[in-house]
Amino acid sequence: MIPVLGFEGERVAVLGLGRSGLSAARALRAGGAHPVCWDDNPAARERAHSEGFEIKDISRDGAFADIASLIVSPGIPHLYPEPNKVVALALEAGVPVDNDIGLFFRSFATSEWQELDVTPKVIAVTGSNGKSTTSALIHHVLSEAGKPVQLAGNIGRGVLDIDPPESGGVVVLELSSYQTDLARALTPDVAVFTNLSPDHLDRHAGLGGYFAAKRRLFAEGGPDRAIIGVDEKEGQFLAGQMSEGASDDRVIRVSVERKLSGPGWSVFARKGFLSEYRKGRQAGSIDMRNIKGLPGSHNHQNACAAYAACRTLGLAPKVIEKGFASFGGLPHRSQLIAEANGVTFINDSKATNVDSALKALEAFRKIRWICGGLEKEGGIAGLKPGLQHVLKAYVIGREAANFAMQLHGVEAQVCTTMANAVAQAMAEAGEGECVLLAPAAASFDQYDSFEKRGEDFIREVEKRL
Q: What is the mean pLDDT of residues 20-48?
A: 97
Stretch among 1-10, 250-259, 327-336, 401-410 having the lowest mean pLDDT:
327-336
| 386 has a pLDDT exceeding 90 | yes
Residue 330: what pLDDT?
Answer: 86
The answer on whether 134 is annotated among ligand-binding residues is no
Q: What is the mean pLDDT of residues 111-118?
A: 93
| 159 has a pLDDT exceeding 90 | yes
Residue 464 binned pLDDT confidence (cut-offs 50, 70, 90): very high
Buried b vs exposed e over 101-119: b needs ≥16 C-beta within 10 Å? bbbbbbbbeeeeeeeeeee
DSSP string for residues in 297-364:
HHHHHHHHHHHHHHHHTT--HHHHHHHHHT---BTTBSEEEEEETTEEEEE-TT--SHHHHHHHHHH-
Residue 442 binned pLDDT confidence (cut-offs 50, 70, 90): very high
The answer on whether 259 is annotated among ligand-binding residues is no
Residue 214: what pLDDT?
Answer: 97
Residue 221: what pLDDT?
Answer: 81
Residue 328: what pLDDT?
Answer: 85
The answer on whether 133 is annotated among ligand-binding residues is yes
Residue 379: what pLDDT?
Answer: 82
Domains of the chain, start order: 11-98 (3.40.50.720), 108-325 (3.40.1190.10), 335-462 (3.90.190.20)
The answer on whether 247 is annotated among ligand-binding residues is no
The answer on whether 356 is annotated among ligand-binding residues is no
Going by their DSSP bridges, the two strands 281-287 and 273-278 should be labelled as antiparallel
Q: What is the mean pLDDT of residues 263-274?
A: 96
Higher pLDDT: 157 or 212? It is: 212
The answer on whether 326 is annotated among ligand-binding residues is no
pTM, two decimal places: 0.87
Residue 199: what pLDDT?
Answer: 77
Residue 156: what pLDDT?
Answer: 77
C-alpha separations of 51 from 17, 27, 74, 276, 317 in Å: 12, 13, 22, 50, 47
| 246 has a pLDDT exceeding 80 | yes
Percent of the chain with pLDDT over 70: 100
> pLDDT for 64-74, tens place per residue?
999 999 999 99
Mean pLDDT estimate for the chain: 95
Residue 301: what pLDDT?
Answer: 96
Cβ neighbours around 273 below 10 Å, total:
13
Q: Is 82 exposed, middle or buried (0-12, 13-18, 19+ CB in 10 A)?
A: exposed
The answer on whether 129 is annotated among ligand-binding residues is yes
Percent of the chain with pLDDT over 90: 90
Going by their DSSP bridges, the two strands 225-229 and 251-255 should be labelled as parallel
| 18 has a pLDDT exceeding 80 | yes
Cross-strand bridge partners of residue 149: 170
Stretch among 88-92, 242-246, 291-295, 345-349 having the lowest mean pLDDT:
291-295
> pLDDT for 301-353, tens place per residue?
999 999 999 999 999 999 999 999 999 888 898 888 999 999 999 999 999 98
